[in-house]
């Protein structure tokens, strides 16, 4: 309870840090982090091909897939020309690990950006009073930059595999005598997610420099004394 009262009493809204690179870049990180995980999570798409039996009309087959891209969990039916019950087939591949890792980094990055923006704008005096705050901020920001590198690279490869596994040209290989590829699934949203991932890498890595300038590693802890402070005059 005392801690809450101290935090409440110490809150002082100051939008000044938003005019500095430290706060402005953090806002950009907050926005681009949302774009990164929002364009990946919740995605749903479908691929398409047609089955044409001799003397019959073409029938559409539209396998559906989506986040987290466990494609082997998405069944679809291919009509048979002999009139028997359609065979159930599954998309191939499980790319959930790279997709979920990417979204997880984005969600935690969003939460960290929100927390640090509150710290910058409401508790700037506390943030600058001790060296611990900027040092922790630097370490966490550098860790997120590394995580963005790993997760974006993994998801870029995972997306390439998803595109291959859902390409109509590849799906009709098992029935190419009667199947014809149709429209490829729309992947623009997922392509954007990879771009946002690498943009986050640039932002978080670049922000490390501005946070580093707030740490004692950059500032001189013992600045030279001036004449007014009683220092000896120079030669």
Q: What is the pLDDT of residues 189-233, one digit of tens each?
A: 999 999 999 999 999 999 999 888 878 776 555 555 544 444 445
In tens, the pLDDT along 159-198 reads 999 999 999 988 888 777 788 888 889 999 999 999 999 9
Please list the helix, strand and coil fractions of the chain in percent, rounded to the nearest 5, in that order: 60, 10, 30
- In the predicted model, is pLDDT for residue 51 greater than 50? yes
| pLDDT > 90: percent of the chain | 46
pLDDT bucket at 121, cuts 50 / 70 / 90: confident
* C-alpha to C-alpha distances, 124 to 10, 23, 83, 117, 220, nearest whole angstrom: 10, 11, 73, 10, 21
Closest CA to 149 of 99, 188, 191, 199: 199
| Res 10: pLDDT | 66
Position 17 scores a pLDDT of 72
The pLDDT of residue 179:
83
Residue 11: strand, helix, or coil = coil
Spatial contact of 179 and 49, defined as CB atoms under 8 Å apart = yes
Residue 219: the pLDDT is 57
CA-based torsion, 9, 15, 19, 21: positive or negative:
positive
Say which range, 65-74, 91-100, 209-218, has the weakest mean pLDDT: 209-218
pLDDT score of 235: 45
pLDDT on residue 36: 95
Q: Which of 5-19, 64-78, 137-151 has the least mean pLDDT?
A: 5-19
Higher per-residue pLDDT: 14 or 101: 101
Question: What confidence score (pLDDT) does residue 218 get?
Answer: 62
Q: What is the pLDDT of residue 3?
A: 43
Q: Is the dihedral of CA 134, 136, 138, 144 positive or negative?
A: negative
Digit-coded pLDDT (tens) for 104-116? 999 999 999 999 9
DSSP SS3 for 37: helix
**Structural contact between residues 120 and 133, judged by C-beta atoms closer than 8 angstroms:** no
**Largest Cα–Cα distance of the chain, in whole Å?**
104
Q: What is the mean pLDDT of the chain?
A: 84
Closest listed residue to residue 145, CA positions, set 3, 32, 24 = 32
Whether residue 24 contacts residue 18, with contact meaning beta carbons closer than 8 Å, is answered with yes
pLDDT at 5: 47
> Domain segments of the chain: what residues?
14-45+96-176+185-212
Please name the residue that has the structure tokens 């932002």.
203
For residue 169, the tally of other CB atoms under 10 A from its CB is 13
């Amino acid at each position: 309870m005392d801690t809450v009262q101290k935090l409440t009493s110490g809150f002082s809204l100051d939008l000044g840090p938003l005019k500095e690179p430290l706060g402005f870049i953090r806002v950009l990180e907050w926005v681009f982090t949302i774009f990164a995980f929002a364009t990946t999570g919740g995605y749903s798409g479908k691929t398409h091909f047609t089955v044409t039996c001799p003397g019959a009309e073409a029938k559409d087959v539209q396998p559906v897939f989506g986040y987290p891209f466990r494609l082997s969990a998405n069944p679809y039916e291919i009509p048979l020309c002999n009139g028997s019950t359609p065979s159930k087939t599954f998309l191939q591949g499980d790319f959930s690990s790279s997709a979920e890792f990417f979204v997880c980094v984005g969600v935690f990055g969003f939460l960290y950006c929100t927390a640090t923006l509150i710290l910058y704008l409401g508790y700037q005096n506390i943030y600058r009073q001790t060296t611990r705050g900027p040092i922790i901020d630097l370490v966490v920001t550098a860790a997120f930059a590394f995580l963005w590198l790993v997760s974006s690279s993994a998801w870029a490869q995972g997306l390439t595999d998803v595109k291959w596994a859902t390409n109509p040209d590849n799906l009709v290989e098992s029935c190419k005598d009667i199947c014809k590829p149709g429209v490829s699934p729309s992947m623009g949203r997922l392509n954007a997610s990879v771009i946002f991932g690498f943009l986050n890498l640039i932002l978080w890595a670049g922000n490390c420099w501005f946070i580093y300038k707030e740490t004692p590693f950059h500032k001189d802890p013992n600045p030279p004394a001036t004449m007014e402070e009683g220092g000896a005059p120079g030669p």
